Amino acid sequence: MLAKVKTCCITGLIVTMIEVEVDIANGLPNVNVVGLPDTSIKESKERVRAAIKNSELDFPLKRITINLSPADTKKEGSHFDLPIALGILGASMQIPLDELDHTLVLGELSLDGKINKVSGVLPMLLQMYREGIKRVIVPNGNLEEAKIVDDIEIIAAKNLNDIALHLKQEDRIYSCKGSSDYEYKTEIVTEDFKDLQGQENFKRGLEIAASGNHNLLMIGPPGSGKTMAARRLPSILPKLTFHEALEITKIYSVAGLLNSDEGLVSDRPFRSPHHTSSLVALTGGGRIPKPGEVSLSHYGVLFLDELPEFNKSTLEVLRQPLEDRTIHISRINGSYTYPADFMLLAAMNPCPCGYYGTNSGQECSCTPYQINRYVGKISGPLMDRIDIIVETSAVDYNDLISDKNVESSKDIRFRVEKAREIQLERYKKTKYLFNSQLNGASIKKYCSLTPSSERLMNLAFDKMKLSARGYSRILKVARTIADLGDSDVICEDHLAEALQYRNLNGLIFK
């Protein structure tokens, strides 16, 4: 007898519907899986055999052929276990097949019949719902994730025997409906900007970066608060919208990093890879390419501490996603595209010892060659993609013991959200969301200068020997500063502040 069960496969974030066809015929006991399965699917026949036997069900001792249709599409993943098992039970007439019509089945089986959590459930269900699927069978560990999909019936099972009894209508499993109503969790801020004493110019740069989604580089001596401030940046970023939370959750679901007890990712990502991380870890890849750090920080922050210590080729690969907001990975199995719309936050010392040109009281022990070699690890094209460069200074003793009230993250976030609202209103009929995304003609349209600021820009362009990209980035930062000041045009003081973030310690970053 022939049985058919619907499931799907995911390549990157592209989902394809797959039909598992199971045919049982007379002959020597054998199980063949065809249709371009990967190793994990070929091994599934052993897991399925043990799971069926240990669930007090009968595994047919006949010739079993399993076809994954369409046969010309490569399939991968352990979530094929459950549809294969139900196909075998249906073809051997141990369960009725009529209830599996228009039902999508996902799940990995343990040898004892337990249904384990799988990766990529959210993007798979979203696409399958668009293609007409109204009911799904998923592992109990994926229930919260599946609930995000609106108006879909969800049957979450713990083991194979429960599913068999449910389909035979002997012991029904409670089903629920998915809903897109998203309630944010109460946010608990554990790292607050009020803990950062002094450094007002430094904090101002972070506020501007958060308001316009600009890339930022911090340069300063050890102990000046660079890492401390970086870890507090998410506390001043606006809360996630439902669309942003959904996109982030899809990426984390594919990467297998989603917690079982939460549906949507509710906090903006903050990823801080170590400087020994490889190129593949940063961009994504592997035999079956998974999202890397640039995709896991989508709509959030990618923090690179000790920037010059990263491998130069690893840093150079960031140039493309910083411009395109996506990352393309090509492997022998195919090409994959993941979103990578992140804010780059980086920190570095001015020299190997960390004290060149600082007010820390420590003398620099580095030679000019060592300093040039250290700074030279960061290429001009990569530096050109950084909007804001701020200098951090050694913290003064009086600032540490001062009782002066310091602004909290809540106060700074209020101004950031107000500036973001201005940008959303300005760009509501365009493809842009933030000032940092402007390019070409849109910069001329939205970054209008007053006559005095035009003269200042003309002078600065020649004096600082700016590139075209550097010129554009200064205007975009000035546009954000103007938004924080609730100004429709870029005045001279807005432009002057933006220019100071390109000139540091006498070094001009073009």
pLDDT of 144 higher than 50: yes
Q: How far apart are CA 82 and CA 49, in angstroms?
A: 11
The CATH number corresponding to 197-419 among 3.30.70.1230, 3.40.50.970, 3.10.450.50, 3.40.50.300 equals 3.40.50.300
The pLDDT assigned to 506 comes to: 44
The pLDDT assigned to 507 comes to: 46
What are the backbone dihedrals phi and psi of residue 467, each rounded to the nearest 5 degrees, phi first?
-80, 170
Q: How would DSSP label each residue in 51-63?
A: HHHHTT-PPP-SE
Number of Cβ atoms within 10 Å of the Cβ of 172: 12
The pLDDT assigned to 233 comes to: 94
Domain boundaries, the chain: 2-177, 197-419, 438-510
**Candidate from 75-89, 280-294, 496-510 with smallest mean pLDDT:** 496-510
Global pTM reads: 0.90
CATH number of 2-177: 3.30.230.10
The H or E element that residue 25 is part of is strand 14-25
* Closest to 501 (Cα-Cα) out of 207, 193, 194: 207
Q: How far apart are CA 54 and CA 96, in angstroms?
A: 20
Residues 6+ apart with CB under 8 A from 440: none
Among the residues of 339-408, which ranges form H helices?
368-375, 380-384, 397-401
The pLDDT assigned to 191 comes to: 83
The pLDDT assigned to 495 comes to: 95
CB 28 within 8 A of CB 60: no
Per the prediction, the chain carries an average pLDDT of 90
Model confidence over 175-234: pLDDT tens digits?
898 876 655 555 566 788 888 887 888 899 999 999 999 999 999 899 888 999 999 999
Q: Which residue has the higher pLDDT, 453 or 201?
A: 453
Radius of gyration of the chain (CA): 28
Residues in the chain, how many? 510
The pLDDT assigned to 105 comes to: 97
pLDDT of 401 higher than 80: no
- CA distances 426 to 110, 262, 433, 468, 485, Å, are 54, 34, 9, 24, 15
Model confidence over 350-398: pLDDT tens digits?
999 988 887 777 889 999 999 989 988 898 889 889 999 998 888 777 7
pLDDT bracket for residue 84 (50, 70, 90): very high
Q: Which residue has the higher pLDDT, 402 or 338?
A: 338
pLDDT of 509 higher than 70: no
Per-residue three-class SS string for 409-467: HHHHHHHHHHHHHHHHHHCCCCCCCCHHHCCCHHHHHHCCECHHHHHHHHHHHHHCCCC
- CA distances 413 to 138, 281, 311, 419, Å, are 39, 31, 34, 10
Most confident of 35-49, 280-294, 376-390: 35-49
CB 374 within 8 A of CB 308: yes
The pLDDT assigned to 182 comes to: 56
Q: Which residues pair with 390 in a beta bridge?
A: 218
Residues 6+ apart with CB under 8 A from 195: 228, 232, 406
How far is Cα of residue 409 from the mean position of the Cα atoms in its chain? 23
CATH class of 438-510: mainly alpha
Q: Give the Cα-Cα-Cα angle 459, 464, 468 (nearest 5 degrees).
A: 90
Beta strands, E only, 248-360: 270-271, 284-285, 290-291, 301-304, 326-331, 334-339, 343-348
Question: Which pair of structure tokens corresponds to residue 62?
Answer: 């006949």
